[in-house]
Amino acid sequence: MVDELYPGASELEGRAIREIVALAMDAPAQAKSGHSGTAMALAPLGVLLFSRILRHDPTDVRWSDRDRFILSCGHASILQYGLAHAFGYDVTANDLRAFRQAHSRTPGHPEAGVTDTVEVTTGPLGQGLANGVGMAIAERILRSDFGADLVDHRTWVVAGDGCLEEGISHEAASLAGALALDRLTVFYDDNHITIDGPTELATRDNTAQRFAAYGWQVLDLGEKANELDTLEAACRSAMADAARPTLIIIRSHIAFPSPEMMDRREAHGSIFSGEVIARAKEILGQPVEAFHLDPLLPGQMTAHLDAQRTSRLAWEQRLRESGSKGVRLLEQLAHNGAAQVDERAPQFDAGAEVATRKALQRAMDVYAPQTSGLTAGSADLTDNTGVVLKGSLAQSAANPGARQIYYGVREFAMGAVMVGQALHGGLRPVGSTFFVFSDYARPAIRLATISRAGVLFVFTHDSVGVGEDGPTHQPVEHLMSLRAMPHLHVVRPSDANETLDLVEQYLSDPQPPTTALILSRQDVPVLSGSDREASRGGARRGGYVVREDPEAVFSLVATGTEVAPCLQAHDELSARGIRTRVVAIPCWRCFDAQDQQYQDDVLRRSLASVSLEAGATLGWAKYVDAALGIDDFGLSAPGPYVFEHFNINSDAVVQHVIRELGATN
């Protein structure tokens, strides 16, 4: 018998679709918050994927060779939760009833690590698509390293109009086409509706031509969003194309089959009335009661996936038979290929003048061969930022195992693609650009931090040291802006050797925090003697005393390149008979995580104190009494002149200390 609403669906699939469509109305209605329409329209696609296409097994949620499913249009999260429940994952009826409630496992948008089947944190539109590009890159590299017998899966992304209107979709899709990521398939839910109204209000793009120009296979299914056999055939066509990624366009009708809400903008985010829900459920053949969930369905669906389970068991057998190769794969997946350091980077000579960005390149030269999961790349600034992997070819279809990724002038996509690599497992991505362009990458940095992706963002050419390029390229407010982001480790090393230490720390950490490493364009003196020993012992704790003096009357506090002028000020003040101490805080968040006694010993807040940093002074009050910095945009001039112009020098510190001590005498 042909299913009139969902042609091609089996009896079991039809039950699942109807239950999920009803749930997509019930859960937002009870929460008085949520998005029903898109989830209703995409339920047939979701069931088709989980039933017939995806390589997955609800009895082993974290099977490493599972297909990755990403709901880029994360506002339709109830769809993913409904699918997880219907197919036997650990999402209970109570979890569904707790949709969008405090501390539930069914939050408003999918969050990595919270709910079964959720691979990445989505919601801000378009980033899920870019995450999918990263996951496809990760699969390709690991398959090249370990063979298709152990790594052989695909990435499937569901995206909506909003995802494709956001600029990141252009960046990510263009990169995916250039890399010919044939194991990536994106579904474009072309429902013609946005919050404001019809999509034609703001966009008249030809999406099919756009993606074809990127180098994708494009399959436009037209009015087939509910026809499971047609959807399956398109998926099989995507899987058969071994030369490029695939975009499958489906013309869905938001809120189908509700007569009152279908194809209306209100269906996107408005809560349906009881009458509207009852009428839609009547059409579906579903009981009118809220959250009517068939208790037999999850078990039946799990049993239905016997072929996928057999595939997993066969994979486990191959893994056992692979010996050391399989052991290495599991180890790399467990800690994203952390560095196993047998050789340390040679130190820079004490007293030399070395830009910290140059130290990064030395770290890459030494530690990259010792870091099995490392990928490195840049938004078109590879040489300038020190992320060249010597001997590595460019990542491409011709070189599938290559770890050097050329992201092009695409800072935002680079960040989101790196998040996808990290959350896939097995890779430890490093990506770089000039610090001022962290503004372009910021939404990806934020989601990396929320999802604890452990990505290393390298930002060089910090502050006004950029010089002649002027205020458009001189990051002044960026340090404080990123420090305000919860859980992000913003690290500004004091010198080249400290940079080596901190890069080694990140690469060898089994579970590194998401980190922004801020490095200089200009040369900075290499610490020597006891200063170097203090750095070696304290930098990894986020803050340390560079020079201590029990009789000090003032603390001079700095980060990065400003540690050197504070040391110079210390010497100049000492010559005047004024005793000071110097403190470096390369990572505020790391320092704040230390025990209170350590923090007190480092800061000694009973003394008068001043900070020096070539950036905004906002935030320094938690550590010092006064802050010297730059609370204005920069200046187009040689770097040394700009530093002097803004009084980022030892003399400014000396004069401040003298004034303050004079005022207290």
Q: Is residue 494 part of a domain?
A: yes
Residue 640 pLDDT > 80, yes or no?
yes
**Which of 497, 525, 553 is at the close of a domain?**
525
Average pLDDT score over residue span 402-411: 98
The three-state secondary structure class of 582 is strand
**Which of 309, 333, 366 is at the close of a domain?**
309
Report the first-to-last Cα separation within the chain, whole angstroms. Answer: 96
- Together in a domain, 27 and 66: yes
- Together in a domain, 52 and 129: yes
Q: Is residue 457 part of a domain?
A: yes
Q: What is the pLDDT of residues 246-290, one digit of tens each?
A: 999 999 999 999 999 999 999 999 999 999 999 999 999 999 999
Encoding tokens for residue 72? 């880029």
Integer Rg of the chain from CA: 28
Q: Is residue 1 part of a domain?
A: no
- Together in a domain, 81 and 174: yes
- Together in a domain, 259 and 221: yes
Q: Is residue 448 part of a domain?
A: yes
Report residue 412's pLDDT band, with 50, 70 and 90 as the boundaries. Answer: very high
Average pLDDT score over residue span 5-20: 98
Report residue 153's pLDDT band, with 50, 70 and 90 as the boundaries. Answer: very high
- Given the residues 411, 498, 562, 613, select the one marked as catalytic: 411
Encoding tokens for residue 618? 């906002």
Range of the domain at 595: 539-664
Residue 1 pLDDT > 60, yes or no?
no
Q: What is the pLDDT of residues 129-149, one digit of tens each?
A: 999 999 999 999 999 999 999
- Together in a domain, 520 and 429: yes
Sheet containing 544-547: order of strands: 544-547, 580-584, 554-558, 608-612, 626-628
- Together in a domain, 449 and 570: no
- Together in a domain, 567 and 480: no
- Together in a domain, 258 and 304: yes
The three-state secondary structure class of 476 is coil
Q: What pLDDT does 29 receive?
A: 98
572 is catalytic: no
CA distance 330 to 352: 43
- Together in a domain, 251 and 385: no
Q: Is residue 341 part of a domain?
A: no
Q: What is the pLDDT of residues 315-326, one digit of tens each?
A: 999 999 999 999
Average pLDDT score over residue span 99-114: 98
Q: Is residue 334 part of a domain?
A: no
Report residue 360's pLDDT band, with 50, 70 and 90 as the boundaries. Answer: very high
CATH for 19: 3.40.50.970
Q: What is the pTM of this model?
A: 0.97
Average pLDDT score over residue span 200-212: 95
Question: Which is nearest to 546 in space by CA: 554, 107, 484, 557?
Answer: 557
Q: What is the pLDDT of residues 214-240, one digit of tens each?
A: 999 999 999 999 999 999 999 999 999
The three-state secondary structure class of 608 is strand
Average pLDDT score over residue span 520-545: 97
Name the domain count of the chain.
Answer: 3
CA distance 347 to 72: 45
Mean of pLDDT over the chain = 97
Q: Is residue 470 part of a domain?
A: yes
Q: What pLDDT does 512 receive?
A: 97
Encoding tokens for residue 53? 């296409």
Estimate the crossing angle of helix 207-214 against helix 167-179, to 10 degrees: 40
CATH for 638: 3.40.50.920
Q: What is the pLDDT of residues 365-404, one digit of tens each?
A: 999 999 999 999 999 999 999 999 999 999 999 999 999 9
Q: What region, left, alpha or beta, does residue 583 occupy, with left being phi > 0 and alpha being psi -120 to 50 degrees?
A: beta
Q: What pLDDT does 172 receive?
A: 98
Q: What pLDDT does 663 receive?
A: 75
- Together in a domain, 516 and 544: no
**Which of 472, 491, 525 is at the close of a domain?**
525
Q: What pLDDT does 3 receive?
A: 84
Residue 359 pLDDT > 70, yes or no?
yes
Report residue 665's pLDDT band, with 50, 70 and 90 as the boundaries. Answer: low
- Together in a domain, 576 and 610: yes
The total of other beta-carbon atoms located within 10 Å of residue 487's CB is 11
Residue 33 pLDDT > 90, yes or no?
yes
Give 336-375 as a DSSP string: TS-B--SSPPPPPPTT-EE-HHHHHHHHHHHHGGGBTTEE
- Together in a domain, 16 and 125: yes
Q: What pLDDT does 664 receive?
A: 67
Q: Is residue 335 part of a domain?
A: no
Residue 209 pLDDT > 80, yes or no?
yes
Residue 478 pLDDT > 70, yes or no?
yes
Average pLDDT score over residue span 30-45: 98
Phi, psi of 263 (to 5 degrees): 65, 20
Q: What pLDDT does 143 receive?
A: 98
